[in-house]
Structures are given as structure tokens and as C-alpha cells.
Structure 1
Amino acid sequence: MGTIDVAVLDQDAHGIPAAEYAEILDRRLPEHEVRLAATPDEHRRYLREATVVAGRNIDAKEVSTAENLRLFACNSAGVDHLPLDAFAEQGVAVTNASGVHGPNIAEHVLGSVLTFTRRLDEGRRRQQRREWRRFQSFTELAGSTVTVVGLGAIGEAVVERFEGFDVETVGVRHTVAKGGPTDEVVGYGDLPDVLPKTDVLVLACPLTETTEGLIGTAELEGLPTDAIIVNIARGGVIETPALVDAIRSNAIHGAALDVTDPEPLPSDHDLWGFENVFITPHVAGHTPKYWERRADVLVENLERITETGEYEGLRNQVL
């Protein structure tokens, strides 16, 4: 198979320009044509012309007009927002970015937890005040229990990075029989049983009918009052009003939120006002190496397509 026309849509999953990704692909795919759709006109034209499109958002109408499209390389791990029926009707293969977010997001989780336990935010505040006044850390991780909800690539990467901290780990997943890297694996139905012993609750699951509103008033009340919640899943996994109430009443120690519901979080939302809530604007996955890992998937798949001429059996293929 000869040259493949690859179009990169300009906006990444959260509105971040994809120029760097296009440059990486252009460098690593010299035998193919890589074009960045940087304007609305280019977006429409490249969708009509390209054989492979890399991006996150595309609607059913766009799929129907993409005459040459054979592969949509989704930039996110989740594909529930995509018109999969339209892709199937057009015979377009779809891949996702599962696995590329593990190292970067896991480091974000660890950084958030250490900020809480070592009170690094308080140290920063005292530095800004030029105040040499000692303070005690909140706790130590050693001997604590970390519960990770969702044992996909991200959840497993989180568990791996906690291994050196002498903690007990509990994994929560749909199919307990699959096991996992944690000391204990339980199903979603058993989550209430493990919450009372959970010091750090990490949410790393997809947003589904099962996980939407998974952490509500009852679950927050089930946690110890010194528990920390880190959400790098989706905002809807936590019932936001219940979380606000829990923070306000000191029912938990604090929360680190890279995702929120609603998102973006309105500037007048109550969550902004708490010193023990760390908010980042859905950027846990965005590091320079993330772009390279994302390119790894597409480069590998294009090599396979070039060799076989088939759009089947691709890495991370979901359709």
C-alpha cells in the first residue's frame, strides 16, 4: 500500500491545540502525508479527503461526508461520545488511546496525594509570605490503604506507583475474576465494604451507567474523616453537591479534582472556595511524552495497514 493521507484535527480532547502531535506524526511518518486541520475550512476539506483522521470529536454527519475515511484514531481512551453506529455503517475502523495516559496521570495522582499528606500547599503559602515557621505534615503514606476504582491501564499505573510507599491497595473492578495488581480486588457492589478502611480513594474508572454518581452522600459518609479523594476519571463519577457538603462539614480531609461536574467548572462554583480542594482543569494527562505515546499507537497501526492493506487487528481497535 502506498501513501496514506492522515488528517489531524486541530483540537485535542480538551481544546488543547494538536500542532505538536501533527509535527510528531509528520516526523515519524515520512512516507505518508500528514496534514493539520487548523481552520474550519481545512477541517471540512481534510475530513472529505483523508483516509485516516486523528482527533477526538466527530459527529455522524461528518462521518457520512468523509468519503475516503477508513480509520478514525480517537485521541481519548473513551469512545462513548463517538457516533459508533455511523462509523460501522460506513465501514470505518475506530481505535482509541487506551494505555497512553497511564504514566502521566498516575504521576498526577501521586503528586496530589503527596501534596495533601506532606502539606506542600501550606509550605508554598508560607514561602509566599516569606514566613519561616515550621509545621507538621498531615500524615505518612506508609501503612495507609489506597483504594483504586477502575483497574484499566491508568488504574494499574496508579497502583504501580504506590508500590514503593508501603501501602495496602484495594482494586475495584467489574470482573473480580480478572484480578489485578492490588493486594485485594473487589467488585463495585463491595465498594461500601472497603470505604471505611480507605485512606486514599482514587477514581480511575470510565463514566458508565454503573459509575455515574458512584460516589454520593452514603459513600462519602462511609469514608474516614481523614480520607483523601482523587478524581482523574470523569466528574460525573462523584455527585458534586454531596462532595461540597462533605467538604463543608469536614466529613473528609480533602479532594483533588482534575475533572468536575459540571466541566468546565463555573467561576462562581463553591468548589473553588475550599483550601482543601485542589482543582486542575482536566490536564492530568498532558505532558510532552503523552504526545509521543499517542503517536506510537497510530504509527504502529499505519505500519500494519501498509504491510497488510487491512484495517483489522489494529492496536487499540474498538470497532
Structure 2
Amino acid sequence: MSDADAPDVLVLRRGTHGIPIEQYADAIRDRLPDHTVALARTPAAERETIRDATFVTGMTLEEALLEHAENLSVFACAYAGTGHLPLEELESRGVTVTNASGVHGPNIGEHVLGSILYFTRRFHVGARRQRRREWRHYRAHELQGSTVTVIGLGAIGQAVCERLEPFGVETIGVRYTPAKGGPTDEVIGFESEAFDDALARTDYLVLACPLTETTHGLLDREAFVTIDPDAVVVNVARGPVIETDALVEALRSNWIRGAALDVTDPEPLPEAHPLWTFENVQLTPHNAGHTPQYYDRLADIVAENVCRIDADGADADLENQVLP
């Protein structure tokens, strides 16, 4: 393939959330009608087409495939996280990397809100009594007046806070740089004293942070001992943010009221794992990110950046740029 035949945008073949990758390519074409958008549907097509492509987008970019990319200048990652990419190699090649930050705000924000209301109104108890055909009242809670702590104030954390606004809750935000502020009543860092104080007065703890050295195992046994025993933990971050054995102990010992887990460690959760057995655990299979609008939001970012490159060339300031 010659440079003249190279597409303006190359879409790699791997999709996500069970949605055909063709929809992503079509969404980009709709937004860039004057550009060529190619979809590589086989490994061989990827190796061939990426050789001259300058702008590539996909869920991941393996080092073996990157070796074939002779002219790559931009890789638009279709995930918000980029830790799975060969970042050092991309940086050494001078490749600009963007991510999908912001794509998951509405859908995961709604998932978190639904999880909180699920435990507030104790729908799991109602569902159990419905299965038994048992008409008997049970105690529920109110969200109003509760304290919700959101760990991670990126696009997802902010979306959660926006959706909590009408419910009359107090909010605490936890982020690496508290001085940046945030859409919460209070913003703290990960310092042990401030963090422990927040845990002790939290009714709903939402994990929406990236997995880093700081957040790996953040909720350990000491954290579960410290947290308010009426608290509910909602994890839409990554499984290893919670120490799984400590979580199981906390549930068995009634150190927390419940947990809504969209991610687990290990993942997928083994069939014999005890987390399946708790009636006060809501499990979803890493599904909070699913939305029919996923590829449309990704395509908006890609199309905007292609237009910026058309206007400003290599000096363009790209949306969601994470490298360099």
C-alpha cells in the first residue's frame, strides 16, 4: 500500500461490549464524510494497512502490530485507560496518544446512581420476597441526608456527582491533588488521616479511580474496619482497588451494609467464589460501561481530532491527549 492509498483513519478490528466494530467505523465515516476511513477486519489486513497509516484508533495496540506501523503519528485509544498500551515504545516513536475520557460519564454515572438507590430502597430484599411470593413489609432507607464519598474526580466521578446533586446528599471527593477542587462539598487527598476520617462518616463509597500504586488495595482490612458499618461500597473502577479477601471478611462480619461490584479481583469471578453467595452483594459483569452511544461518543473525539490535525498539522492540540 502506498502513502497515497493509506486511509485518513484506520480502525482496528477489536470491538468492545459486544457491539460490532463496524458501528464504530460507520460513526467515524458519518462525521468525516470527506475523509477515508478503513476498517481492518483480519490480522493480515491490520498488518498491511497500518504500515502507511498515520492516524489509527482501536481498543488496544499490541507491540507486534506496532512493529509494522512505519508512519504512525496518532493512536486514538478507544478506552479511557491506557495502561495496557506499549506507552514507552509509542513515546520513543513520537506517537501522540489520546484516550476515551468522558465517553463513560453518563452511562457509568447512571449505573452508580442505580446501585446506590438499589441499596437505599433495599430492592434486593423486595426481589427476594417477590420470588417467595411473600407479602411482608421490610425496612428501607432514604438517600437524602446521606454522605457519599467519591474516590476519583475524573469524568466518571464528576458525572456521578452531577447525578447526585438533586438528592440532597453531602459529598466528599478524593483526588490526588485536592487543590484542584471538584464538584463535591469537600475535597481531600489520599493522606491517611483525612481519608480515614472520610471513611468513618461515609454512607456510600464510590470507587471511580484509575488503578495506580496509590489505589491498588486501597480498601484493605483496616479500611473496612474504619468505614461506617452502615456503608455501601460501589466499585466501578478496577477490581484490585479492593482487597477481595478483606471484602469477603467485611461482608461476613457485617462491617459494611453491602457492595455493588461491577469489577472484581479476580475477573471474571470464578463460579465457586464466595462473593456470588452474599444476598447483600450486587454483581454485574464489568457492564457499567455498556451504552448504545459508546461508539458515537468515541467517534466524536476522533472526528474532532482529525479536524484539528487538518487545521494545525503536527502542532495540533488534541482532545484527550495523554502522550506526549
- Are 1:108 and 2:111 counterparts? yes
Instruction: Say if 1:79 and 1:15 are closer, same or farther in 2 by CA, change over 3 A.
Output: farther
Residue 235 of structure 1: which of 216, 236, 239 is its match?
239
Instruction: Say if 1:312 and 1:89 are closer, same or farther in 2 by CA, change over 3 A.
Output: farther
Residue 312 of structure 1: which of 312, 316, 322 is its match?
316
Q: 1: CA distance between counterparts of 2:190 and 2:47? A: 43
- SS of equivalent to 2:171: strand
- Are 1:25 and 2:28 counterparts? yes
Residue 81 of structure 1: which of 64, 80, 84 is its match?
84
Report if aligned partners of 1:3, 1:32 keep a CA contact under 8 Å in 2. Answer: no
Residue 294 of structure 1: which of 298, 311, 314 is its match?
298
Q: How does 1:211-250 map to 2 (within 5 A)?
A: 211-250=215-254
Q: 2: CA distance between counterparts of 1:81 and 1:49? A: 24
Residue 36 of structure 1: which of 20, 36, 39 is its match?
39
**Partner AA of 1:186 in structure 2:** I
Q: Identify the residue that residue 251 of structure 1 maps to in structure 2.
A: 255
C-alpha deviation, 1:311, in angstroms: 5.7
Q: How does 1:1-319 map to 2 (within 5 A)?
A: 4-12=7-15, 17-129=20-132, 131=133, 133-189=135-191, 190-310=194-314, 312-319=316-323
| Count of residue pairs brought into register by the alignment | 318
C-alpha deviation, 1:304, in angstroms: 0.9
C-alpha deviation, 1:69, in angstroms: 1.6
Q: 2: CA distance between counterparts of 1:280 and 1:311? A: 43
**Residues 214-253 of structure 1: CA deviation (Å, up to 9, x unaligned):** 0000101111221100001111110011011111222111
Q: 2: CA distance between counterparts of 1:311 and 1:66? A: 21
**Partner AA of 1:192 in structure 2:** D
Q: 2: CA distance between counterparts of 1:270 and 1:37? A: 42
Q: 2: CA distance between counterparts of 1:126 and 1:258? A: 24
**Residues 3-35 of structure 1: CA deviation (Å, up to 9, x unaligned):** 843222232456754232122112222222222
| Percent of residue pairs bearing the same amino acid type | 58
Question: Gaps spanning 5+ residues in structure 2: where?
Answer: none
Report if aligned partners of 2:76, 2:99 keep a CA contact under 8 Å in 1. Answer: yes
C-alpha deviation, 1:36, in angstroms: 2.4
- SS of equivalent to 2:195: helix
C-alpha deviation, 1:44, in angstroms: 2.4
Instruction: Say if 1:194 and 1:127 are closer, same or farther in 2 by CA, change over 3 A.
Output: same
Question: Gaps spanning 5+ residues in structure 1: where?
Answer: none
Q: 2: CA distance between counterparts of 1:311 and 1:213? A: 40
Q: 2: CA distance between counterparts of 1:196 and 1:308? A: 51
- SS of equivalent to 1:310: helix
**Partner AA of 1:149 in structure 2:** I
Report if aligned partners of 2:124, 2:279 keep a CA contact under 8 Å in 1. Answer: no
- After TM superposition, the structure 1 stretch with the greater mean CA deviation from structure 2, 286-295 or 141-150, is 286-295
